[in-house]
A and B are shown apart, each in its own frame.
Chain A
Amino acid sequence: MSTNDPASTRGMQDFERSLASSDKTLASFEEGRKTFLQRLQHFLHGNPTAIPAIVLLLGVLLFSAIVGSRFFHPINLSLIIQQVTIIGILGIAQTLIVFTAGIDLSVGAIMVLASVIMGKLAVVAGVPTALAFLMGLGAGGLCGLINGLLVTTFRLPPFIVTLGTWNIFFALNLWYSASETIRSQDITANAPFLQLLGTTINFFGARLTYGSVLMLLLFGVFWYVLNRTAFGRHLYATGDDPDAARLSGINTDKVLLAVYVTAGVICAIAAWALIGRIGSVSPQAGYTSNLDSITAVVIGGTSLFGGRGSIFGTLIGALIVGVFRNGLALSGVDVLWQEFTVGLLIIVAVAIDQWIRKVAA
């Protein structure tokens, strides 16, 4: 055909004239007009940490307005980071497991058991501190391995497995420690390395401990692992849809086992940070840490159904709890309202997650 213009050659036939005024768009999916809410839903679906980040910002603004400079001060803000160190580190372990659509009720018990092993070996039994520390880390990994084997080999639900091991690890801790606290002074005298993470450093008016710096580093490391390594992508895939993951060649059991062992070792690192923070080794410590770590994960916008969420969401979730506790305490509000607020935050976070999950893909 020499030309596309029909009028220049033979003239347009009558029935063709209407073409000019007809719809010229190509075939496409029906794109209903989206309401603001739907667009928000889509945005949050792609950015699960947006809401927690906004809540954190609002919390900081709110308490800065109410309490003033005593709250919005580098020292106080860095103090909040110090206060969430333990829960933050445990939260990393919890997040990894929640990403696989599991849950770990034993993280707090693993932490306390590891801290008692480190302290008791180094201070009471006279084992070289470095060795005692490594044995503590090993014990954490071993606890995680037990959880992982029960989940993968025996196909038991993680909730039940860790409910059981929570009690078992806690009982072992009481037996091994005989419920006795190892005092700060005795640790300083015999194994100061265990308290290393409690060392404070100043910069630009803020005060952080080595422990809180380590926590931030760990978040960075695990962000990289989750988003930039094959293992991380396999982990997400296993959590989102284990059948699809298996069909695409991922050894999901191996992934799960690795996740539980890693989580156990992270709990033992939290144990080290705990000794740094409270100075002593207390078998009574950390009894609520299991639930506190789940709280941080949930408020951080990670879905308990697996496969969706961000590791930094957990950091933000932990910080939100820290900001509200600290802010309410500084405002002189009765402590029961701190509990009330945390409860409210959890329910709002889960409600938002349920709503986001209904997004039309």
Chain B
Amino acid sequence: MVHERPRQRGIVWEYATVSAKFRLLATAAMGALAFGLVTSQASAEDAIVGLITKTNTNPFFVKMREGAEAKAKELGVELRSFAGKYDGDNQAQVEAIESLIAAGAKGILITPSDTAAIVPTVKKARDAGILVIALDTPLSPIEAADATFATDNFKAGEFIGQWAKATLGDGAANAKIAMLDLNASQVTVDVLRDQGFLKGFGVDVKDAAKIGDEDDARIVGHDVTDGSEEGGRTAMENLLQKDPEINVVYTINEPAAAGAYEALKAMGMESSVLVVSVDGGCPGVNNVKDGVIGATSMQFPLMMASMGVQAVVDHAASGKKPENSPGLDFFNTGVELITDKPVDGLPSITSEEGLKKCWG
């Protein structure tokens, strides 16, 4: 009754090849469209600044683009924005740099999706005399860019670690910690925040470039969230199954924290557990206000982008390159701790003040 139908297998092959062609066509069409839109907005003699973000979906990058656009308008330069289709889309970023080189851009601001793979293309741009500034995520090696404007993610983690430790007081010695990380690839920002938190909490992190090599018994476990609510909830549920006595939850970002909170609420544990996070998005700061998140480290994407545009314009005028923050190999755009339960010796601002500075 069931017949072998090679005809159908043929169709599947056809799908595969057609889909590859389709994608090429679609990319080309979208590139052409974006180009047309941007060039129609500004006159030809303006200096061109390129902004390349990982995606154009994450509010963090949406804010970054807004900051860059505002600054570009103020300084009278033309901003061309590009983004990958998904986090990790290196190919789209390579194409974006290539078209910016071809357009004769003065500077490129990039949040690299693949910090190592993009380096040869970045070198081509620098060889063409373009100032390349990495925003938010350093290239590897970091000196592959002319400058890096980023959040000190280790510091961001350390702040919330110190806050959690101080808030627990003597209880910190017997804490049960859940670590809700980003994903399995151990990308820089994930590692820095995770290890920063643990160091701030007073855990021996062993190799600070590696998540999960610690042997401190207070750590119940690490799980991944993809930085999303759903991922945060599932990871929290699984770690609670491992140890229902968890009382400190570190989260890679605020959506993951919101998901973790839902899991804690379902177990009736939301009031006895400290949740800490990093980001400073407006929903996250509102969650600090409502007691969902105990403390969060705010970063400043708008500032990164506007400083980046300023640096490109300065460089074009005077040839001066931006300098690093003292003691760091990048320019620190700052981190602020947001909490409504401040602790001694740790500067912080309230959620009320935080709402004035938040993004997204």
Is the Cβ of B237 less than 8 Å from the Cβ of A339? no
Contact of A279 with B by CB under 8 A: yes
Could you list 16 further interchain pairs (A-B, Cβ under 8 angstroms) beyond the known A274-B230, A325-B234, A357-B2? A71-B241, A159-B15, A174-B56, A180-B59, A184-B258, A278-B258, A280-B229, A282-B229, A284-B58, A284-B255, A326-B241, A329-B223, A330-B242, A335-B183, A335-B184, A361-B2
Quote the shortest CB–CB distance from A305 to chain B (angstroms): 5
Q: A79-B237, A157-B14, A160-B22 are in contact. Are A183 and B287 (CB under 8 A)?
A: yes
Is the Cβ of B221 less than 8 Å from the Cβ of A159? no
The interface centre, meaning the residue of A332, A335, A339, A358 with most chain B CB atoms within 10 A of its CB, is A335
Q: How far is the CA of A308 from the CA of B4 in the complex (A)?
A: 13
- Chain A residues whose C-beta falls within 8 Å of the C-beta of B259 in the assembled complex: 278-279
Is the Cβ of B258 less than 8 Å from the Cβ of A330? no
The interface centre, meaning the residue of A82, A159, A283 with most chain B CB atoms within 10 A of its CB, is A159
Contact of A285 with B by CB under 8 A: yes
Q: Which size class do A's interface residues fall under?
A: 35 or more
Q: A160-B19, A279-B229 are in contact. Are A332 and B2 (CB under 8 A)?
A: no
- Chain B residues whose C-beta falls within 8 Å of the C-beta of A274 in the assembled complex: 230
Contact of B109 with A by CB under 8 A: no
- What residue of chain B has the Cβ atom nearest to residue A86's Cβ? B230
- Chain B residues whose C-beta falls within 8 Å of the C-beta of A280 in the assembled complex: 229, 258, 283
Query: Which of A79, A160, A285 contacts B241 (CB under 8 A)?
Result: A79
Chain A 260-296: CB-based contact to B (< 8 A → 1; otherwise 0): 0000000000000010011110111111100000000
Is the Cβ of B255 less than 8 Å from the Cβ of A308? no
A-B contact pairs, 16 of them (CB 8 A): A45-B2, A71-B241, A174-B57, A179-B360, A180-B283, A183-B283, A274-B230, A279-B262, A284-B58, A284-B255, A286-B230, A305-B5, A329-B242, A330-B238, A335-B223, A338-B184
B interface residues with partner A (beta carbon < 8 Å):
1-5, 8, 11-12, 14-15, 18-19, 22, 26, 56-59, 62, 86, 183-184, 212, 221-224, 226-230, 233-235, 237-239, 241-242, 255, 258-259, 261-262, 265-266, 281, 283, 286-287, 290, 292, 360
- What residue of chain A has the Cβ atom nearest to residue B212's Cβ? A334
- Chain B residues whose C-beta falls within 8 Å of the C-beta of A283 in the assembled complex: 57
- Chain A residues whose C-beta falls within 8 Å of the C-beta of B26 in the assembled complex: 167
- What residue of chain A has the Cβ atom nearest to residue B281's Cβ? A181
- What residue of chain A has the Cβ atom nearest to residue B56's Cβ? A174
Contact of A76 with B by CB under 8 A: yes
- Chain B residues whose C-beta falls within 8 Å of the C-beta of A358 in the assembled complex: 4
Quote the shortest CB–CB distance from B200 to chain A (angstroms): 23
Is the Cβ of A334 less than 8 Å from the Cβ of B14? no
Q: A70-B241, A183-B258, A361-B1 are in contact. Are A157 and B15 (CB under 8 A)?
A: yes
Is the Cβ of A83 less than 8 Å from the Cβ of B1? no
- What residue of chain B has the Cβ atom nearest to residue A76's Cβ? B241
Q: A183-B286, A285-B230, A329-B242 are in contact. Are A157 and B184 (CB under 8 A)?
A: no
Quote the shortest CB–CB distance from A77 to chain B (angstroms): 10
Is the Cβ of B224 less than 8 Å from the Cβ of A160? no
Is the Cβ of A179 less than 8 Å from the Cβ of B59? yes
- What residue of chain B has the Cβ atom nearest to residue A337's Cβ? B184
The interface centre, meaning the residue of A45, A76, A179 with most chain B CB atoms within 10 A of its CB, is A179
Contact of A163 with B by CB under 8 A: yes
A interface residues with partner B (beta carbon < 8 Å):
45, 70-71, 75-76, 79, 82-83, 86, 101, 157, 159-160, 163-164, 167, 174, 178-181, 183-185, 198, 200, 207, 209, 240-241, 274, 277-280, 282-288, 304-308, 325-326, 329-330, 332, 334-336, 338-339, 357-359, 361
- What residue of chain A has the Cβ atom nearest to residue B9's Cβ? A305
Is the Cβ of A284 less than 8 Å from the Cβ of B2? no
Q: How far is the CA of A329 from the CA of B238 in the complex (A)?
A: 7
10 closest A-B pairs (Cβ-Cβ)? A278-B229, A336-B184, A329-B238, A159-B15, A279-B262, A335-B184, A179-B59, A181-B283, A335-B224, A183-B283
Quote the shortest CB–CB distance from B292 to chain A (angstroms): 8
Q: How far is the CA of A194 from the CA of B261 in the complex (A)?
A: 18
Quote the shortest CB–CB distance from B246 to chain A (angstroms): 13
Is the Cβ of B11 less than 8 Å from the Cβ of A157? yes
- Chain A residues whose C-beta falls within 8 Å of the C-beta of B229 in the assembled complex: 181, 278-280, 282, 285
Is the Cβ of A180 less than 8 Å from the Cβ of B221? no
The interface centre, meaning the residue of A101, A279, A325, A361 with most chain B CB atoms within 10 A of its CB, is A279
Q: How far is the CA of A241 from the CA of B230 in the complex (A)?
A: 39
Is the Cβ of A305 less than 8 Å from the Cβ of B8? yes
Q: How far is the CA of A180 from the CA of B255 in the complex (A)?
A: 11
Is the Cβ of A179 less than 8 Å from the Cβ of B8? no
Query: Which of A76, A160, A284 contacts B228 (CB under 8 A)?
Result: A284
Is the Cβ of B19 less than 8 Å from the Cβ of A163? yes
Is the Cβ of A308 less than 8 Å from the Cβ of B2? yes
Q: How far is the CA of A306 from the CA of B18 in the complex (A)?
A: 20
Quote the shortest CB–CB distance from A188 to chain B (angstroms): 10
- Chain B residues whose C-beta falls within 8 Å of the C-beta of A277 in the assembled complex: 230, 233, 262
Q: How far is the CA of A178 from the CA of B58 in the complex (A)?
A: 10
Query: Which of A79, A157, A326, A361 contacts B18 (CB under 8 A)?
Result: A157
Q: How far is the CA of A251 from the CA of B333 in the complex (A)?
A: 63
- Chain B residues whose C-beta falls within 8 Å of the C-beta of A308 in the assembled complex: 2
- What residue of chain B has the Cβ atom nearest to residue A174's Cβ? B57
Q: How far is the CA of A284 from the CA of B2 in the complex (A)?
A: 42
- What residue of chain A has the Cβ atom nearest to residue B243's Cβ? A70
- Chain B residues whose C-beta falls within 8 Å of the C-beta of A304 in the assembled complex: 12
Quote the shortest CB–CB distance from B1 to chain A (angstroms): 5
Q: How far is the CA of A308 from the CA of B235 in the complex (A)?
A: 35
Q: A157-B15, A336-B184, A339-B184 are in contact. Are A285 and B2 (CB under 8 A)?
A: no
- What residue of chain A has the Cβ atom nearest to residue B232's Cβ? A278
- Chain A residues whose C-beta falls within 8 Å of the C-beta of B4 in the assembled complex: 357-358
Is the Cβ of A330 less than 8 Å from the Cβ of B15? no
